[in-house]
Structure 1
Amino acid sequence: MTNLPSEPQAETLAVAPSFFAEARRTFHAALLGRVLFSNERGIPANADSGNKASVAIAKGIVGRLGTEIQGERLAGQMSGREFEDIVCSYLAETFSQLAHLRPGLWSVQQITTRNQAVLARFEQYSHLVALAKAAARDPELAAALGNDYTIAPDIVIIRGLESDARINSQRHLVDESVSRHASLRERNDGLPILHASISCKWTMRSDRAQNARSEALNLIRNRKGRLPHVVVVTGEPTPSRLSALALGTGDIDCVYHFALPELVSAVEELDNDDTSEQLKIMIEGKRLKDISDLPLDLAV
Structure 2
Amino acid sequence: MSISMAGDEGAILEDSLLGEGDVPAWLPELFAWKPTTPKNRRAVENTLKRNNLPNIADGSQRASLSIAGHLFERLGIEKVVSDDAEEADDDSLGRLLEEAVERDLSVSLSRECPHTAWGVRRNSKIWEFAQYSHIKNLKDAASRYPDVEEVIGGDYLIDPDVTVSLPGRYGTSLRAVVSCKWTIRSDRAQNVRHEFNSPIRARRGRAPHLVAVTAEPLPSRLSSLTQGMGEIDSVYHVAFDLINEAVHEYAPLRSRKNEPTQLDHWRKMTRSGRLRDYRELGGDILSD
Q: Please report the TM-score for the alignment, with normalisation by the length of structure 1.
A: 0.78
Letter in 2 for 1:286: G
Aligned-residue Cα RMSD (Å) equals 2.2
What's the counterpart of residue 241 of structure 1? 221
- Alpha-carbon distance in 1 for matches of 2:10, 2:232: 35
What's the counterpart of residue 121 of structure 1? 128
Superposition deviation, residue 59 in structure 1: 1.1
Alignment length, in residue pairs? 251
- Alpha-carbon distance in 2 for matches of 1:20, 1:194: 24
- Match of 1:268, SS state, is helix
What's the counterpart of residue 54 of structure 1? 64
Percent identical pairs in the alignment equals 35
- Alpha-carbon distance in 2 for matches of 1:248, 1:28: 28
Residue number among 142, 152, 162 corresponding to 1:135 in the alignment: 142
- Give matches, 1:103-252, under 5 Å: 104-111=116-123, 118-160=125-167, 184-185=168-169, 190-252=170-232
**Is the contact made by 1:107 and 1:159 (CA closer than 8 Å) also made in structure 2?**
yes
- Match of 1:43, SS state, is strand
Superposition deviation, residue 21 in structure 1: 4.5
1:38 aligns with 2:50: no
- Match of 2:17, SS state, is helix
1:297 aligns with 2:284: yes
**Is the contact made by 1:20 and 1:292 (CA closer than 8 Å) also made in structure 2?**
no
Superposition deviation, residue 22 in structure 1: 3.7
- Alpha-carbon distance in 2 for matches of 1:127, 1:157: 19
- Match of 1:299, SS state, is helix
What's the counterpart of residue 6 of structure 2? none
Q: 1:16 to 1:64 in 2, by over 3 A?
A: farther
Q: Please report the TM-score for the alignment, with normalisation by the length of structure 2.
A: 0.81
Superposition deviation, residue 97 in structure 1: 2.5
- Alpha-carbon distance in 2 for matches of 1:69, 1:294: 28
Q: In the TM superposition, what whole-angstrom CA distance separates every residue of 1:147-180 from its partner, at most 9, and x where no partner exists? A: 11111111111102xxxxxxxxxxxxxxxxxxxx
Superposition deviation, residue 31 in structure 1: 2.5
- Match of 2:229, SS state, is coil
* Rg larger for: 1
**Is the contact made by 1:32 and 1:69 (CA closer than 8 Å) also made in structure 2?**
no
The answer for unaligned runs of 5 or more in structure 2 is 1-8, 36-50, 253-259
The answer for unaligned runs of 5 or more in structure 1 is 1-14, 161-183
What's the counterpart of residue 94 of structure 1? 108
1:81 aligns with 2:95: yes
What's the counterpart of residue 233 of structure 2? 253
